[in-house]
Structure 1
Amino acid sequence: MKNFGGLILALLLLVVAPEAQAQKFGWVDSEFIMAKMPEYAKAQQELNLLSDTWQKEIESLQKDLDKLHRNYQNEEVVLTEAMKKKRQDEILLKEQELKAYRNKQFGYEGQLFKKRQELNKPVQDKVFEAVEKVAKKKTLAVVFDKSGDLTMLYTNPAHDYTEFVLEELGLGAEDRNQPGPKGTVKTVAPPKTPVDPNFESDSGTPEAAPATKPQTKPARPTKKK
């Protein structure tokens, strides 16, 4: 979430000093975290419904415009210049209305953009608060957002605090960030290989040679005297 990157990157400014390199730092994946949140999924569903509704309205306006174009082309030869001008102005007006409506709903800072900010802001604030709590608990001076505007060419899993943030939100996996099992570690003895009494080992233990069938030489033909 590119817009959300600025929220996480605010923690980056917690320590701005020469000794900042000696401080603990970590990173999280805000997009992964938000994808796990039910309220984020609900917001996306609402946005998809709005987008589909507005898209159908645009398609309806486009059909009306296409119909005006076809009628004009079919009747152009029988229209006077004044009638042509009127039809052309009508088509131009419909084109402008369609363009304006499309920009209003899907353009930069249009209705979809504003609605997305409105629905996502509570979720983003919740994630930011969880990140801040984890940063304080783990004494992190800097927290990067892997999915933000900051390009991260390499991320060491040892500094990944994404799962801790999910735990803070009550969405952590039970098999992550948990201590290992306590008590005596049981080892399983490898199965013993059966010893063949006829096999000679490297230690020089004598072995019986494998039984082979005696080879019989064919009898030589005798010369007749």
Structure 2
Amino acid sequence: MRIRTPFIVALLAFIGFGAQLDAQKIASVDMEKILSSITEYQDAQEQLDQLAAKWQQEINQQYDAIKGMYNKYQAEQVLLSEDQRVQREEEIIAKEKSVRDMQRQRFGPEGALFERRQELVKPIQDAVYEAIESYASTRGYDFIFDRAGAAGIIFSNDTYDKTDDILRALKN
């Protein structure tokens, strides 16, 4: 609620200011509802969920194996020479690093799951955004907001983009 309150206040101020200049057409859409109604999107999400669950299970098994190695090391530690203890510790540490690397390669910001999501979901999202942009352009909407998520503005008329004005002001 705290995050939305400043956004709503800013939106109302923006609407009030805009009403004084000229009337803007504003609309909202529920992206979650739109995407969940698309069969291909649901199938892609299911595939991604299954893949993530499978990979997480593999990683959990690796961590269980590491825990087993550590427990065995703890039990045998008093019987091992210094060199053997160091070797076992290094094996455990190397195995932990290997599993963390696997986890990062699969679930990291640029990992395999992200890439797979880009392959499966992004084309669907792009098609939805294109449909929204086309709808807004043909019906004269200046802004379209996403009611469901944190995406904010989905479409805005380039007339209202003042980025270049700000950049010019910063250079002066």
Q: Give TM-score, length-normalised by structure 1.
A: 0.55
- Residue 91 of structure 1 corresponds to which residue in structure 2? 92
- Pairwise CA distance, 1:27: 1.4
- Residue 25 of structure 2 corresponds to which residue in structure 1? 24
Higher helix content, 1 or 2 = 2
- Residue 50 of structure 2 corresponds to which residue in structure 1? 49
- Pairwise CA distance, 1:21: 4.5
- Residue 145 of structure 1 corresponds to which residue in structure 2? 146
Equivalent position amino acid for 1:63 in 2? D
- Pairwise CA distance, 1:23: 2.3
Paired positions, count: 135
Distance 1:96 1:126, change over 3 A: same
Q: Report percent identity of matched pairs.
A: 36
Other structure's SS at 1:148 match: coil
- Residue 133 of structure 2 corresponds to which residue in structure 1? 132
17-26 or 120-129, which deviates more: 17-26
Q: Give TM-score, length-normalised by structure 2.
A: 0.71
- Pairwise CA distance, 1:132: 2.0
- Map 1:105-116 onto structure 2 (within 5 A): 105-116=106-117
- Pairwise CA distance, 1:70: 1.0
- Residue 198 of structure 1 corresponds to which residue in structure 2? none
Distance 1:20 1:60, change over 3 A: farther
User: Deviations along 1:27-53, whole A, 9 cap, x unmatched?
Assistant: 112122101110110100110111111
User: Deviations along 1:98-129, whole A, 9 cap, x unmatched?
Assistant: 11111111122211122112211111111112
- Residue 117 of structure 1 corresponds to which residue in structure 2? 118
- Pairwise CA distance, 1:145: 2.1
Other structure's SS at 2:109 match: coil
Equivalent position amino acid for 2:73 in 1? Y
Residues of 1 paired with 2:110 and 2:51: CA distance?
Answer: 15
Distance 1:133 1:19, change over 3 A: farther
Residues of 1 paired with 2:137 and 2:91: CA distance?
Answer: 63
User: Deviations along 1:145-198, whole A, 9 cap, x unmatched?
Assistant: 2223339xxxxxxxxxxxxxxxxxxxxxxxxxxxxxxxxxxxxxxxxxxxxxxx
Runs of 4+ in 1 over 4 A off after TM superposition: 17-21
Residues of 2 paired with 1:95 and 1:139: CA distance?
Answer: 57
> Which structure 2 segments of 5+ residues have no match?
1-17, 154-172
- Pairwise CA distance, 1:19: 7.9
Query: Is residue 81 of structure 2 the alignment partner of residue 66 of structure 1?
Result: no
- Map 1:151-190 onto structure 2 (within 5 A): none
Pairwise CA RMSD = 2.1
